[in-house]
Amino acid sequence: MLIGVGAFFWLRSYVFANISARIDEKISSMKLSGFNVRYDSLSVDWRTNVIIVENLVLEKNAYDTACVYPEFIAVGKIRAEGLRLWPLIFNNILSFEDLSLEKWRMVMRQNSQLFADSSSEREKDFTLRADRVSFKSADLTYTDSSQCDMITGIKSDITIEALALSFPVTEPFSYEVDGLSLGYTEVKLPQALYTFKIRETKLDLLTNVFRADSIQVIPDAGKFEFSRKLGYETDRFDALIPFVRADNVFFSFNDSSQITAGFTEIQIYLKVFRDKRLPFVKKNKLLPIAQLQDLPFDLLIDSLKVTKSYVEYEEFAEGSAEAGKVYFDNLYATITNINNSSTTGNTQMRAQANLVGQGNVKLFVTFPLNTDKTSQLAGSIVDFRIPEINPMLTPATNIKVES
């Protein structure tokens, strides 16, 4: 028995002692793929079963760009705990209990070469697995390929459960994940003048449940400054979405990307402002079904429930002295059969709300999935005093309803 224990510890120390050499081999193969790889230090402690890499940087196409900086991935500190020896020795599977990446940052351009397939340089299949992967203070910047101005910036703390990355020699890269959660997340779209802030997001792929809490849509400019910065008349959205919940969520990325969901529920408080004194750019305003069909992926939702929400529309008409406003509160709606990949059947919406805190409005709309067919709309309004629309009517038309 003592011989067996001794042999185990000898094998363990031998494998760990050779990990540094194997990592150097991987780095050399990455350099053949066009990466420039560097790090400050690499430490392997076989007693505590911990591997630490300090200040790792991977760059690619460093000189083929007009940008100040190349595309790169940088990590302030990588800490890998719980290395499993047998999968590594017998199956070339690098498997950890916990993988932590602190101050992870990636800069990627349009038409990126950062993740171009390099399977031709791999000599044998390789798999990386981790029970838990955490990205602390993650920062992703996506830029255009000409001036390298930011298109999207994302900052978050990310946790992935049961990650498996497979790099087969003869097949494309593949991955598996059991769950994904994001802590406080900030998404910046500077060219669109919007910032999104999300308190928490969680996707459980074992139970197929998605939820997001406290989503803020924040314009990066005031009501009048927003359209002036863009140079034309457009809607400015300011929104708070307290929650989004969906069950039976599935993703498919085979022949085409597809997202499906069963029952989905959302609450929203939305304010829309439009300054009509600015130049108008003529655009074809698509109906909802046509807008969904413009998405770069297939979207199928069995039913969407909007619960106790609020929508406000305000506009400053040309020639008026002030803005007019109308709003709907206590808004409830149900939308069924949302599908942008079919041309048969209908999407139906039933909604009701209070108009400017008074009238009870009910609406029923049928949107054919075949956009060549005509939509149908029916509705009613009761218990409403016409003068209540003056805050919207008078600034826009100089007409005031007395009774």
Q: How confident is the model at residue 63 (pLDDT cuts 50, 70, 90)?
A: very low
Looking at residue 94, its pLDDT comes to 82
* Number of Cβ atoms within 10 Å of the Cβ of 261: 21
Give which of 219, 185, 180, 189 is closest to 199, Cα–Cα. 185
Q: 107, 106, 98: which is closest to 80 by C-alpha? A: 98
How far is the CA of 180 from the CAs of 157, 254, 323, in angstroms? 11, 20, 44
Q: What is the pLDDT of residue 269?
A: 98
The mean pLDDT value of the chain amounts to 84
* 370 vs 254, residue with greater confidence: 370
pLDDT of residue 189: 96
Q: Which amino acid is at 16?
A: F
**pLDDT confidence of residue 319:** 79
Domain layout of the chain by residue ranges? 1-191, 207-403
Query: What's the maximum distance between 2 C-alpha atoms anywhere in the chain?
Result: 100
When pLDDT is cut at 50, 70 and 90, the band that residue 22 belongs to is low
Question: Phi and psi dihedrals of 310, rounded to 5?
Answer: -145, 130
Please answer whether residues 35 and 60 qualify as being in contact, where contact means their C-beta atoms are separated by less than 8 angstroms. Answer: yes
Residues in a beta bridge with 267: 243
Structure tokens at 111: 């038409």
For residue range 296-323, what is the model confidence (pLDDT) as tens digits?
889 999 999 999 999 999 998 887 778 8
Rounded to an integer, what distance in angstroms lies between the CA atom of residue 164 and that of residue 171? 15
- Residue-wise pLDDT for 68-101, tens only, equals 667 888 999 999 999 887 777 777 788 899 999 9
209 or 358, which is more confident: 209
